[in-house]
Chain A
Amino acid sequence: MSQIEVSASIAINAFLEAIKDAAAEDPNFRARLVHALDLTVLYEGDEQFEGANPVRQAKRWSMEAFKRIWSSAKVGQIKAAIKAHGLATTTDMKGLNKAALIELLYRRAEEKSRNDGRI
C-alpha cells in the first residue's frame, strides 16, 4: 500500500477516472459496465455494437427493440457478432441479407439465452 496520504474525494475521483479511461478504451469492458447497470442503454453510431452481447440483449430487450437497434449496424458488424458468440455457421449466413441476418441473430441469441443446461 502507498504511503501517500490523499483525501477521500481525490482517491475516489482517481478510481473513477481509471474506470472511465478503461471503459473508453475497451468496448468489452464498457459493455460489461452497461450490463451491470441493468438498464437498456442506447448508444449512438457504431459504438453500440462493439463488445455487445446479443445473448444478454435478447434476454433483456423486446424483439422490436433488439431489431431496431441492430438495424443500424453494418452487415459486417452483425456477422462479427454472430461469429463471436457462436450463433451460426458460415453456411447458415450464406446469402442472407441484412434483415435476415438480424432475424437470425435475434432468433439464435434468444434461444441461447434460454439454455439453462436442463434437459
Chain B
Amino acid sequence: MRIAIANMKGGVGKSTTAMMLAESLAVFHDKRVLVVDCDPQANCSQMLLSYHGLLNAKAAHKTITNWIESIVGKSLHGEVISEHSASECIQFDVSELTNFEESYWNTIPSQGKVSIWPATPDLRFAELLFDGKNMNTGDLQNPTMVLKAKLNEGLKAVETNGTITIFDCPPGFSTLAQSALLVSDAILTPLTVDPVALWSLKTFWNQGLRDNLRIPSSTPKMALLTMVRSAGAAEEKQRIRQELSAFSPSARLSTEIPFRSDALRMVNRIARDSKRSFNEKYGSLRTSVKALGDEVMQKLIAGSEV
C-alpha cells in the first residue's frame, strides 16, 4: 500500500504529517513503513534521521538524489556512476522511538519499523539531469513515465507484504512527485484552515491530479486539517470544514492536527543515537497522531474491500 502526502501549496504540514503517520502506523499498527522523501527541502529526512544522520546518509551516497543520479549514469559533478538499487539507498529502521524496544518499561513492543529513503537539497538538480536525459522531442511526459517505472521497480524490490510506503511530496509537480503520485494507491492532502489552502486543495485535486496526471477518480483521496488553533475564528473554521465536506464528502478526515507550540519539539531529532518514547516525542499531540494513523488505516482497509 502506498500513500502520497501531497499538496501544491507549501507550509501545510506535509512533511510533519508524513512523519506522524509513519510513526503512528508503525507503533500502533505494527506496520513496516517506508518513507520516501521526494522533497528537496529534505525536512522529513532530517526529522527522522537528525541533521548529522542525514549528513552521514549523503556522505555514504544513500539518498534518493544518489539513486536518480545513478539512473542517469553520472553524478551532478560529472562522475560516471553505475546504477544503484533502491535498497542500497534506503536507511532501514531509523525511528528514534523506544516503543519498538522490548526493554522499554511495560510497553508492548511493536513489530513495526520506520525506514527512510532520504532526500537532499540537490535532489531537484538530479531530477533536472534525469529530465534532460529522458526528454524526447514531443513527449514531455517521458521523464515522468521512465522515473515512474524505475520507482515502481525499485520499491517492489524492497516492499514486503504489508509494507506501507509514504511519499512526502514537495509543493508542485516535480518529476519525482509526479512519479510518486502515479504509483500511489491513495493520496492524503494536508491543509491549513484557511480559504487559500482550501482553494489550493481543489485546484490540486481537480486540475493537478485529475486533469493533468489523469489519476483515476477511484484512487482514495483524504484531506487532513492541520495546525488547527483551538481559539478564535470558530465560524471561519466551521465554514472551511463544511466547504471541504461539500467538495468531497468522504475525503475529510475527522481527525485534525491541532496547533501546539510543543510541535517544535517533535520535529527536532537531536542526534542519530537519540531516543524517546512516542509520548515524549509527540506530547500533547499524541492522541491526534495516534488517531491519524487509526483513521487512515480504517480508510485504507475500507478502500481495499471495495
Q: Which A residues are closer than 8 A to B by beta carbons?
A: 86-92, 108, 111, 114-115, 119
How far does the Cβ of A11 sit from chain B's closest Cβ, in whole Å? 44
Residue in B98, B121, B276, B280 whose beta carbon sits within 8 Å of that of A119 in the complex: B121
Interface centre among A87, A91, A92, by most chain B C-beta atoms within 10 angstroms, is A91
B163 interface contact, C-beta 8 A = no
Please report the C-alpha to C-alpha distance between residue A115 and residue B51 in the assembled complex, in whole angstroms. 8
Q: Is the CB of A108 within 8 A of B276?
A: no
Given the contacts A119-B42, A119-B58, A90 and B280 also touching, CB distance less than 8 Å:
yes
B54 CB–A CB distance under 8 Å: yes
Provide 21 A-B residue pairs closer than 8 Å at the C-beta atoms, listed in order of the A residue. A86-B270, A88-B270, A88-B274, A89-B274, A89-B276, A89-B280, A90-B276, A90-B280, A91-B98, A91-B275, A91-B277, A92-B270, A92-B274, A92-B275, A108-B271, A111-B271, A115-B52, A119-B42, A119-B46, A119-B58, A119-B120
Complex alpha-carbon distance, A90 and B120, angstroms: 30
How many chain B residues touch A (CB < 8 A): the figure is: 18
A90 to B104, CA, bound (A): 13
On chain B, the residues within 8 Å of A87 by CB distance are 270
- When A and B form their complex, what is the total count of cross-chain residue pairs whose Cβ atoms lie within 8 Å? 36
Contact status B270-A89, CB under 8 Å = yes
Residues of A within 8 A of B55 (CB): 119
A89 to B96, CA, bound (A): 11
Check A91/B280 contact, CB under 8 A, given A111-B52, A115-B52, A119-B55.
yes
- B82 lies within 8 A of chain A by Cβ: no
B268 interface hit (Cβ, 8 Å):
yes
Q: Using Cβ atoms and an 8 Å threshold, which residues of chain B touch A91?
A: 98, 275-277, 280
Question: In whole Å, how far is B284's beta carbon from the nearest beta carbon of chain A?
Answer: 16
Least CB distance from A95 to B in Å reads: 11
Chain B positions 215-271 with a Cβ under 8 Å from a chain A Cβ? 268, 270-271
CA distance A90 to B46 in the complex (A): 21
CB neighbours (8 Å) of A111 from chain B are 52, 271
Given the interface pairs A115-B51, A119-B55, the reply to whether A89 lies near B268 with Cβ below 8 Å is: no
Query: Bound state CA distance, A88 and B98, in angstroms?
Result: 14
Which of B271, B277, B280: most chain A CB closer than 10 A? B271
B120 cross-chain contacts in A, Cβ below 8 A: 119
User: How would residues 18 to 55 of chain B score, 1 for a CB under 8 Å from any chain A CB and 0 otherwise?
Assistant: 00000000000000000000000010001000011011
How many angstroms between the C-alpha atoms of A91 and B276 in the bound complex? 5
Interchain nearest-CB distance for A10 vs B (Å): 48
Interface 1/0s, chain B 98-126, versus A by CB < 8 A? 10000000000000000000001100000
| C-alpha gap A89/B282 in the complex (Å) | 13
Please name all residues of chain B whose beta carbon is closer than 8 Å to the beta carbon of A119 when the two chains form the complex.
42, 46, 51, 54-55, 58, 120-121
CA distance A111 to B277 in the complex (A): 23
Chain B residues near A86: list those with CB within 8 A. Answer: 268, 270
Which residues of A lie under 8 Å from residue B276 when comparing CB positions? 89-92
Q: Within the assembled complex, what's the spacing in Å between the Cα atoms of A87 and B120?
A: 24
Give the CA-CA distance A30 to B128 in the complex, in Å: 52
- Contacts A91-B280, A92-B275, A119-B58 given; 11 further ones with Cβ under 8 A? A86-B268, A89-B275, A89-B280, A91-B276, A91-B277, A92-B276, A111-B52, A115-B52, A119-B51, A119-B54, A119-B121
